[in-house]
Structure 1
Amino acid sequence: MTLNRRSFIGAGVGVAAALGAPMVMGQGTPRVVVVGGGAGGATAARYIAKGAQGAIDVTLVEPTRTYYTCFFSNLYIGGFREYDSLGHSYAKLASDYGINVVHDWAVGVDRDARTVSLASGGQLPYDRLILSPGIDFVDGSVPGWDLSAQDTMPHAYKGGTQAALLKAQIEAMPEGGTFAMIAPPNPYRCPPGPYERISMVAHLLKQKNPTAKIIVADPKEKFSKMALFQEGWGKHYDGMVDWIGPEFGGGNVEVNPAAMTVSIDGEEMKVDACNVIPGMKAGRICEQAGLTDGNWAAVDGRTMQSRLDENVHVLGDASSQGDMPKSGFSANSQAKVAAMAVRSALTGSKMFPAKFSNTCWSLIATEDGVKVGATYEATPEKIAKVDGFISQTGEDAELRARTYEESLGWYSGITQDMFG
């Protein structure tokens, strides 16, 4: 499956035909509030506003004025992108699509009154609500670590300055120092993400600190693209990366940020930089709205509607929907299905069967790109995988270079699809 910017925008979701001229039903302009301006929320807001042509009032609530993508932040850490290249403005969503962009925190949802409360004290009424808040972290999932330690042992797993902080700490490591990663348990955002990060940290250290060591403590017996990453680490960073799975204590970890130590199965070691990626759950607003099982929000994949409230749709990382991984590509794909469903409910436009796709690219070393992906369809029970593909070990350099170039085209395409 080869994607470029143009082909990506319409790839695999089967909803573009539903976004024709609206047929307004009833009195007044229906109101949609979208919480979260990432790959799910920004895309949903844009597709609803673009297709409705003024027939739906769309408000997007997002606290940041410049959105920094979490996807591709690993390439910044590895030195393949500039930090500013990850930042994107909401200006076109407001100027070109008439979306009311509100830079504030959504702090509560009254599902009976159909209102969203803002940190500033205001309230936004809605006829349909779309929640796409991304992830928050599970308290206590890594003993010794909480959010108060994120400046000492960064997670760097939300878009923004954490990635810059982590890179600075890696670059400041002493010669021959030790970098540690505490990998997350399933399920979590971007399954290959921690291991692409290890590759990018190794690439950075190979240039600046070639005798440094990397320790990965992992509670999982296997991970996405495991054979591909391990092949790449052996080829490009021989002897630098030490992956410790649960058999050898990778799931029995404790950290001490003040002392900069990591204990793996009772054995304590001093580290010079440490990336703690905790267990994850749906962004807090989903829990505040009473839509989660304590971790994730269950949805009907045919419309991305909450299983607990038909007037609320939950997208992307926050949703529990079936077989799709939690990724930016998935959130973007789900957003188009939700946009179609919202427009159909509020204006009577035509619904088509929901179809989804996802691809996750990873960079292992210079022009050594790999990918995994699949197509999906919605059933009454879940979003179900139809077929898939994955890069193979032993591929030639030319194919790997093309895969990397493909990922660059995807990034250009998805950010344009999100922000216009």
Structure 2
Amino acid sequence: MFSRREWLSQALGLLSVAAAPSLAFAQDNAHIVVVGGGVGGATAAKYLKLFNPSLKVTIVEKNPFYIRPYGSSEVLNQHVKMEDLYVSYDALKSKYGIHVVTDTVTGIDPVARTLSTAGKQRISYDKLIVSPGIQLMYEAYAGYSEAVARTAVPSGWIPGEQTALLAKQLQGMRQGGTFVLAAPPNPYRCPPGPYERASLMTEWFTKHNPTAKVIIVDPKDSFVTDETMMLGWNRLYKFNLPEDYVKKMSSEVEIKQHSGTSMLSWVRGKDGGRTIKIDAKQMRIEIEGGTIQADVINVIPPMKAGAVAATLGLTDSSGFCPVNRRDFSSTLLPNVYVIGDASIADAMPKSGFSANTQAKVVARAIVETLAGRPAPEPLWENTCYALAGKDYGLFVADVFKIVDGKIARINGKARYLPLNATPAQIKLGARYQQAWLRTFTSDCFA
């Protein structure tokens, strides 16, 4: 049986070298401020203190606790409760001496190196790390808005009240009803996530609403983990793969052709899957291929860097933040670093794992810069776990380095769960996913 260690041993070994703390430090009284207390920000703050406990580190975060997006779709199928997503900052404060300020950043003076906040504070910094996450572009579709999302057609891609509303809608959907999930265009947070969400609800409906329909409408013609995910759909939900996928995959694995109609369907961009308009009153979604009448609609709209990134002048015309690849320092403001979903990181996906590994590399780079030493050559990694069903796990695992000035994937083709994986290997993938949720949260926040 293959193991995760076999997939990632080289990556982890290289990253350990890149992230090992130095023994001597200069400027021990430097103040590093981190804007954003999500995965990237929390990891950066923690590892700064691990690398040099003498540093003064402050997190400025508008929320008193973190609601983790990874694993949040499991609220929809009643695998976890909303309160299970809540993560405290207590360990960062008590174990590492990190100061956490609950406030909203409203401006920056890059010359004086100060931040202003909604609470009328002025916070000085020597180095600033910004990890603002994403902002959902609700208005990208006619008839859609944040107000509509909060009351009728939730997104829930940033977990919170909309996640709870969507769970209530799905679990209360009439027998035989239709659930439509509108997938986002690239780039977006958590590449396998929309398809995992549809998978988990299809599995839940087979038990609680067996005549329901799940329709994914998609502006794209493919997605990360598409082959392994759709193979799971084929086996679990009698989903028939598109013919081009069958031709591409049939040399490696047997793909069943099912009679009848699957509970789950996927409308690709080439088949008219791009979302155009949302009619919340009539509960209809208009796509290029026509109009679908639904009982529950979940829209995952296009995304850009979190609002504070634009407030601080860190975004370009793409809506995201350009950075120097070696250390993720902003190309627009001095002494500022941008990590996580908001950064332009080339081949690296927008995922919690990416933010975590970027944070560690940036923390090391800052510590070495303050000590007057060059930062080591960076290496990053990413692993995205996903579920096609509760016991059907899959993943994508990659290693990255700078190639010709860009962040490029350097591992070979073997980055996914093999198509010919055994049932035991597939079940093990699901166990990895559940274990990762716990250990990853601990690495970031505990």
TM normalised by structure 2 equals: 0.88
Alpha-carbon separation, structure 2, partners of 1:153 and 1:381: 42
Q: Which has the higher strand share?
A: 1
Whether the 8 Å CA contact 1:75–1:363 is kept in 2: the answer is no
Secondary structure of the 1:330 match is helix
Alpha-carbon separation, structure 1, partners of 2:331 and 2:210: 51
What whole-Å deviation, never above 9, does each CA across 1:221-247 have from its counterpart, x for those lacking one? Answer: 111111222222222223111211122
Counterpart AA for 2:392: D
Structure 1 counterpart of 2:248: none
Change (3 A) 1:336 1:53: same
Whether the 8 Å CA contact 1:221–1:245 is kept in 2: the answer is yes
Q: What percent of counterpart residues are identical?
A: 37
Change (3 A) 1:82 1:289: same
What whole-Å deviation, never above 9, does each CA across 1:264-323 have from its counterpart, x for those lacking one? Answer: 237333211111101011111111122211311011221111122241111010000211
Q: Give the alignment of 1:324-403 within 5 angstroms.
A: 324-348=348-372, 351-379=375-403, 381-388=405-412, 389-403=415-429
Alpha-carbon separation, structure 1, partners of 2:11 and 2:265: 39
Alpha-carbon separation, structure 2, partners of 1:417 and 1:380: 32
Alpha-carbon separation, structure 2, partners of 1:410 and 1:8: 19
Structure 2 counterpart of 1:68: 67
Structure 1 residue 158 corresponds to structure 2 residue 182: no
Deviation larger for 196-205 or 341-350: 341-350
Q: Give the alignment of 1:90-105 within 5 angstroms.
A: 90-105=89-104
Change (3 A) 1:349 1:47: farther
Alpha-carbon separation, structure 2, partners of 1:408 and 1:314: 29
Alpha-carbon separation, structure 2, partners of 1:145 and 1:13: 43
Post-superposition offset of 1:72? 0.8
Alpha-carbon separation, structure 1, partners of 2:271 and 2:160: 33
Q: Give the alignment of 1:2-401 within 5 angstroms.
A: 2=4, 13-14=15-16, 18-25=20-27, 29-54=29-54, 56-138=55-137, 140-151=139-150, 152-238=152-238, 239-265=262-288, 267-294=290-317, 295-348=319-372, 351-379=375-403, 381-388=405-412, 389-401=415-427
1:407 to 433, 436, 442: 433
Change (3 A) 1:279 1:18: same
Alpha-carbon separation, structure 1, partners of 2:300 and 2:52: 40
Secondary structure of the 1:195 match is helix
Deviation larger for 401-410 or 72-81: 72-81
Post-superposition offset of 1:107? 2.3
Deviation larger for 338-347 or 228-237: 228-237
Alpha-carbon separation, structure 1, partners of 2:85 and 2:10: 19
Alpha-carbon separation, structure 2, partners of 1:58 and 1:250: 46
What whole-Å deviation, never above 9, does each CA across 1:312-363 have from its counterpart, x for those lacking one? Answer: 1110100002111000000000000000111112234663211111111111
Post-superposition offset of 1:192? 0.6
Alpha-carbon separation, structure 1, partners of 2:282 and 2:107: 38
Post-superposition offset of 1:64? 2.0
Whether the 8 Å CA contact 2:386–2:393 is kept in 1: the answer is yes
Secondary structure of the 1:414 match is helix
Change (3 A) 1:9 1:257: farther
Change (3 A) 1:289 1:375: same
Change (3 A) 1:402 1:376: same
Structure 2 unaligned regions, length at least 5: 239-261
How many corresponding residue pairs? Answer: 415
Higher relative contact order (CA 8 A, sep 6+): 1
Whether the 8 Å CA contact 1:131–1:314 is kept in 2: the answer is yes
TM normalised by structure 1 equals: 0.93
Whether the 8 Å CA contact 2:19–2:364 is kept in 1: the answer is no
Q: What's the C-alpha RMSD, in Å, of the aligned pairs?
A: 2.2
Counterpart AA for 1:344: E
Whether the 8 Å CA contact 1:360–1:372 is kept in 2: the answer is yes
Whether the 8 Å CA contact 2:179–2:296 is kept in 1: the answer is yes
Counterpart AA for 1:325: P
Alpha-carbon separation, structure 1, partners of 2:337 and 2:13: 22
Deviation larger for 244-253 or 12-21: 12-21
Secondary structure of the 1:408 match is helix
Counterpart AA for 1:44: A
Change (3 A) 1:321 1:9: closer
Counterpart AA for 1:375: V
What whole-Å deviation, never above 9, does each CA across 1:19-58 have from its counterpart, x for those lacking one? Answer: 2344223xx821111011111100000001222112x211
Alpha-carbon separation, structure 1, partners of 2:305 and 2:384: 20
Alpha-carbon separation, structure 1, partners of 2:403 and 2:130: 21
Whether the 8 Å CA contact 1:32–1:127 is kept in 2: the answer is yes
Alpha-carbon separation, structure 2, partners of 1:49 and 1:378: 26
Alpha-carbon separation, structure 2, partners of 1:349 and 1:94: 29
Post-superposition offset of 1:418? 0.8
